[in-house]
Amino acid sequence: MEIRITEFRSSEKDQLIKFLSSGYWQFHSTPRISKEKLETQYESGYFTGEGCRTFLIKDKNADIIIGVMRLFDLGNGKDDDETPLFDIKIKEELRGKGIGKQALKWLTDFVFTNYPNKLRFEATTRIDNIAMRKVFEHCGFMKEAHYRLAWPDAEGNRYDCTGYAILRSDWLNKTKTHVNFDS
Ligand X SMILES: CC(C)(COP(=O)(O)OP(=O)(O)OC[C@H]1O[C@@H](n2cnc3c(N)ncnc32)[C@H](O)[C@@H]1OP(=O)(O)O)[C@@H](O)C(=O)NCCC(=O)NCCS
Binding footprint of ligand X on the chain (CB under 6 A): 25, 27, 87-90, 95-101, 125, 129-132, 134-135, 138
Query: What's the min distance (Å) between Cβ of 161 and ligand X?
Result: 10
Query: What's the min distance (Å) between Cβ of 78 and ligand X?
Result: 25
Residue 4 CB contacts under 8 Å (≥ 6 apart), including other chains: 57, 58, 59, 60
Report the residue number, 130 or 154, with the smaller CB distance to ligand X: 130
Query: What's the min distance (Å) between Cβ of 178 and ligand X?
Result: 21
Report the residue number, 3 or 167, with the smaller CB distance to ligand X: 3
Query: What's the min distance (Å) between Cβ of 88 and ligand X?
Result: 4
Query: What's the min distance (Å) between Cβ of 129 and ligand X?
Result: 5
Report the DSSP pairing between strands 142-152 and 65-72: unpaired
With CB atoms as reference, the residue minimizing the distance to ligand X is: 100
C-alpha atoms less than 13 angstroms from C-alpha of 41 in its C-beta half-sphere: 17
Residue 24 · residue 31 · CB < 8 Å: yes
Bridge partners (DSSP) listed for residue 159: 151
**Phi/psi-derived region of residue 143, left when phi > 0, alpha when psi is between -120 and 50, beta in every other case:** beta
Q: Whole-angstrom Cα distance, residue 134 to residue 84?
A: 20
Report the residue number, 78 or 97, with the smaller CB distance to ligand X: 97
Report the residue number, 53 or 70, with the smaller CB distance to ligand X: 70
Report the residue number, 4 or 95, with the smaller CB distance to ligand X: 95
